[in-house]
């Protein structure tokens, strides 16, 4: 899907959201720092009330809602999203709080071209309510993972993790805020690597600066 005729042009990314879009905002802000590297060419939400759509509009970024409730099947919804992304000649798909499970066909189509951010230190706490579950389990640290998307839910090879300490008086809300803060630093960093070709996927492994990663990269709070 990468358009080789624009090898030296900014990479075109699409950000898929379902809600608040604070990670989208972090990318909007980052993009203005490196306009030669990437542009957010499209924002897609599956929910019409997603605040992230307003963020896109305020930034002058093309956006649209593809309401999943209007589709009979996951396959039909994903096919529409895929068509929209291909029409927009997108280089990379960035999932940022996109709360839909994608079909295997969709994930295979964008293999190596699609990343997700998940609020836990994967493989721990796939799925929802990760902050609460980490607290309830008595963890001393928590964090986020940015990974390539594969057909396995929250299971693709992890590029980068950021850790935060869990303090004795930690609440679900305070932990969420700490993780959010790190998310907004980490995601733009990884998107820059991706767009520079410094990180890629090969044989279900992350390649970073031409070396296969044995463990995710880390940044500490
Ligand atoms: C983030 O915590 C992200 O890790 C998870 O969903 C949340 C999205 O938040 N996948 P926002 O919409 O970017 O504010």
Please tell me the distance between residue 97's alpha carbon and the centre of ligand 1 in angstroms.
4
CATH class of 8-110: alpha beta
Pairing of strands 141-148, 38-45: unpaired
Task: Please check the confidence at residue 6 and state whether its pLDDT lies above 70.
Answer: no
Task: Please check the confidence at residue 197 and state whether its pLDDT lies above 90.
Answer: yes
Task: Please check the confidence at residue 1 and state whether its pLDDT lies above 90.
Answer: no
Distance CA 16, CA 63 (A): 10
Mean pLDDT of 125-130: 96
Among protein residues, the one with the nearest Cα to ligand 1's atom 5 is: 97
Ligand 1: nearest atom to the Cα of 50? 12
What the block records as the tokens of 179 is 């993780």
Task: Please check the confidence at residue 131 and state whether its pLDDT lies above 60.
Answer: yes
Mean pLDDT of 156-180: 97
Among protein residues, the one with the nearest Cα to ligand 1's atom 10 is: 97
Is 101 annotated to bind a ligand? Reply is yes
Predicted confidence band of residue 168 (pLDDT cuts 50, 70, 90): very high
Distance CA 5, CA 143 (A): 39
Predicted confidence band of residue 92 (pLDDT cuts 50, 70, 90): very high
The domain spans of the chain are: 8-110, 117-221
As a whole number, the mean pLDDT across the chain is: 95
Ligand 1: nearest atom to the Cα of 17? 12
DSSP code string of 182-210: HHHHHHHHHHHHHHHTSEEEETTEEEETT
Mean pLDDT of 105-131: 97
Q: The whole model's pTM is what?
A: 0.96
Predicted confidence band of residue 7 (pLDDT cuts 50, 70, 90): low
Strand, coil or helix: 68: helix
Please tell me the distance between residue 4's alpha carbon and the centre of ligand 1 in angstroms.
31
Q: Which range among 1-10, 34-43, 94-103, 210-219 shows the weakest confidence by mean pLDDT?
A: 1-10
Pocket residues: Cβ below 6 A from ligand 1 = 17, 19-24, 96-97, 117-119, 144, 183
Is 45 annotated to bind a ligand? Reply is no
Among protein residues, the one with the nearest Cα to ligand 1's atom 6 is: 97
Mean pLDDT of 172-199: 98
Tell me whether domains 8-110 and 117-221 share a fold.
yes
Task: Please check the confidence at residue 5 and state whether its pLDDT lies above 90.
Answer: no
Among protein residues, the one with the nearest Cα to ligand 1's atom 12 is: 21
Please tell me the distance between residue 104's alpha carbon and the centre of ligand 1 in angstroms.
22
Predicted confidence band of residue 113 (pLDDT cuts 50, 70, 90): very high
Which H helix or E strand runs over 79? Answer: helix 74-87
CATH class of 117-221: alpha beta
State the residue for tokens 């972090």: 26
User: What pLDDT, on the 0 to 100 scale, is given for residue 153?
Assistant: 86
Distance CA 113, CA 217 (A): 19
Residues 6+ apart with CB under 8 A from 43: 14, 15, 16, 17, 21, 24, 52, 53, 55, 56, 61, 62, 63, 64
Please tell me the distance between residue 209's alpha carbon and the centre of ligand 1 in angstroms.
27
DSSP code string of 80-121: HHHHHHHHTT-SEEEESS---PPPHHHHHHTTTTEEEEESS-
User: What pLDDT, on the 0 to 100 scale, is given for residue 8?
Assistant: 79
Is 16 annotated to bind a ligand? Reply is no
pLDDT in tens, 8-59: 799 999 999 999 999 999 999 999 999 999 999 999 999 999 999 999 999 9
Task: Please check the confidence at residue 178 and state whether its pLDDT lies above 80.
Answer: yes
Catalytic residue numbers read 118
Is 192 annotated to bind a ligand? Reply is no
Mean pLDDT of 132-157: 96
């Amino acid at each position: 899907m990468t358009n080789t005729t624009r090898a030296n042009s900014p990479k075109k990314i699409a950000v898929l959201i379902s809600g608040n879009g604070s990670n989208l905002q972090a990318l909007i802000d980052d993009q203005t720092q490196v306009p030669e590297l990437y542009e957010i060419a499209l924002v897609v939400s599956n929910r019409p009330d997603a605040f992230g759509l307003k963020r896109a509009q305020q930034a002058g970024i093309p956006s649209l809602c593809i309401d999943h409730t209007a589709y009979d099947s996951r396959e039909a919804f994903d096919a529409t999203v895929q068509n929209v992304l291909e029409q927009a000649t997108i280089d990379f798909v960035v999932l940022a709080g996109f709360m839909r499970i994608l079909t295997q066909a969709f994930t295979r189509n964008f293999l190596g071209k699609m990343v997700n951010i998940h609020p836990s230190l994967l493989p721990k706490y796939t799925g929802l309510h990760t902050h609460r579950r980490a607290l309830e389990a008595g963890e001393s640290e928590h964090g986020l993972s940015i990974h390539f998307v594969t057909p396995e839910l929250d299971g693709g090879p992890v590029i980068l993790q950021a850790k935060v300490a869990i303090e004795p008086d930690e609440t679900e809300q305070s932990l969420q805020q700490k993780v959010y803060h790190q998310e907004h630093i980490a995601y733009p960093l990884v998107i820059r690597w991706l767009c520079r070709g410094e990180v890629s996927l090969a044989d279900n492994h992350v390649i970073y600066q031409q070396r296969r990663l044995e463990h995710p990269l880390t940044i500490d709070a």
